[in-house]
């Protein structure tokens, strides 16, 4: 896990702030339930509704202030982990001294950016989404355990889709990593040898080779991105059908039978999106993490590498 290279104090602070941010969802849903139940009770207590609205607004301001700190801590963790990975890879590449620089250039310019976006950031978001799901489902159990069981069973459908699509995404990402390294080498060769190609009048040949490598890289990137998009669409479709439409239909029946209040039903419908969104996001981010497996394996080698002692006097070259 890439987050183990972050400071523990930062991760603990981030987790606490993520939990507070996750409570925002539950807070809004709870206030909606109370306000709707008061409005449908026939009491005509308008000031009560006004006080609840002011309380909700005050709570939102507090959550907003906390979220500012949350984003600051999150960006700090991403920066520190990125620097740890870059230092390790630079040490490893310099220590190896490989004359073929294509894989090193690709790693430092493209692969590490993929790791930042699709691994480090994704794993931080997974912590927040997991806490959001736990908070939403815990409060839902408190409000209506029957409806919550329906939602929990419904989340199995998107999980099955994720399990099926994950190996395909990993395979596509490996192909993209290879073609991207090849493209980087072709560009480097073309630029470094520009004067020689002009001298021997072979510029068109060199440009064609680099363009072909670029085409292969773009095709591989398209295939990987398209596979991720298709997987996400399948997950969303399964989530909307099984995690929203079916449970809300069951909730409507319970309300007609007098076993569920209108405020609770609306709250559950609101929370249902907070069941769907964290679950779908978690699966999507898990797929993103899987897409960085080839790049992460290279970085793991660098992180485990022990640099040779360069303080000894070199008596020959």
pLDDT > 70: percent of the chain: 87
Q: Packing angle between helix 262-291 and helix 156-192, nearest 10 degrees?
A: 40
pLDDT in tens, 226-265: 888 888 788 778 777 776 677 777 777 777 777 767 667 6
pLDDT in tens, 63-107: 999 999 999 999 999 999 888 888 888 888 887 776 666 667 777
pLDDT of residue 74: 92
Long-range contacts of 229-236 (CB under 8 A, 24+ apart): 230/165, 231/161, 231/162, 231/165, 231/168, 231/169, 231/284, 231/287, 232/280, 232/284, 232/287, 234/161, 234/165, 235/158, 235/161, 235/162, 235/165, 235/280, 235/283, 235/284, 236/158, 236/280
pLDDT in tens, 184-235: 888 777 777 778 777 777 778 877 888 888 888 888 888 888 888 888 788 7
Residue with tokens 């207590």: 45
More confident residue, 247 or 128: 128
């Amino acid at each position: 896990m890439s987050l183990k290279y972050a400071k523990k104090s930062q991760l603990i602070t981030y987790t606490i702030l993520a939990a507070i941010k996750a409570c925002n969802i539950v807070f809004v849903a709870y206030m909606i339930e109370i306000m709707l139940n008061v409005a449908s009770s026939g009491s005509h207590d308008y000031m009560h509704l006004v006080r609840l609205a002011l309380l909700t607004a005050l709570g939102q301001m507090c959550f907003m202030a906390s979220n500012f700190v949350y984003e600051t801590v999150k960006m700090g963790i991403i920066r520190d982990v990125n620097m740890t990975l870059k230092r390790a890879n630079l040490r490893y590449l310099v220590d190896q001294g490989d004359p073929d620089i294509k894989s090193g250039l690709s790693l430092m310019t493209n692969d590490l950016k993929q790791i930042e976006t699709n691994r480090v950031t994704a794993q931080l978001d997974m912590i927040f989404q997991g806490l959001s799901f736990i908070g939403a489902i815990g409060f839902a159990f408190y409000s209506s355990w029957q409806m919550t069981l329906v939602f929990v069973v419904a989340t199995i459908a998107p999980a099955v889709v994720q399990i099926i699509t994950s190996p395909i995404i990993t395979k596509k990402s490996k192909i993209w990593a290879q073609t991207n390294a090849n493209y980087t080498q072709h560009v480097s060769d073309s630029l470094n040898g520009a004067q020689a190609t002009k001298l021997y009048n072979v510029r068109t040949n060199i440009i064609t080779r680099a363009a072909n490598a670029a085409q292969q890289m773009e095709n591989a990137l398209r295939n990987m991105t398209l596979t991720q998009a298709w997987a996400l669409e399948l997950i969303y479709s399964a989530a909307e059908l099984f995690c929203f439409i079916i449970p809300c239909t069951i909730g409507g029946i319970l309300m007609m039978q007098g076993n569920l209040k209108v405020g609770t039903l609306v709250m559950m419908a609101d929370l249902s999106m907070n069941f769907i969104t964290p679950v779908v996001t978690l699966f999507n981010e898990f797929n993103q993490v899987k897409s960085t497996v080839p790049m992460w394996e290279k970085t793991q080698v660098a992180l485990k590498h022990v640099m040779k002692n360069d303080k000894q006097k070199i008596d020959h070259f």
